[in-house]
Amino acid sequence: MRCRYSSFWDVPRAFVFVYQNKGFELESPFEDEIDEYRPDYYVWDLGNIPPELIETLTWAELEARRVRQLDDVPVSAFKFHRVRERLDGRSFARVRFAGAVPAFMQTT
């Protein structure tokens, strides 16, 4: 599936995507205490959102759509295609699940 991302270090450290008509925002920020990026993504439910909005809204507008925070998920739960693209100043990649669909996506 297609995702929009910002901040990249080995993998996207913040990205959004739509799965079964629901939007999700994931973030794995750098943590000074451990001098490393988090091994897990924080996950937010963005509610029902058309895929085209993921591509056009600003990051602040996307964050404003957060409905609730869900369970964290390991960064390793996702695999990103090595080819990435830029379009109108926005970054996109293809992402797939490394295994089963993460539990947070099955219960929302």
DSSP letters spanning 28-41: --EETTTTEE-SEE
Q: Region 67-88: what's the mean pLDDT?
A: 86
pLDDT > 60? residue 9: yes
pLDDT of res. 11: 83
- The boundaries of the domain holding residue 12 are 2-106
* Tally of domains in the chain: 1
Residue 107: what pLDDT?
A: 56
Q: What percent of the chain has pLDDT over 70?
A: 97
Which 3 state secondary structure label does DSSP give 102? coil
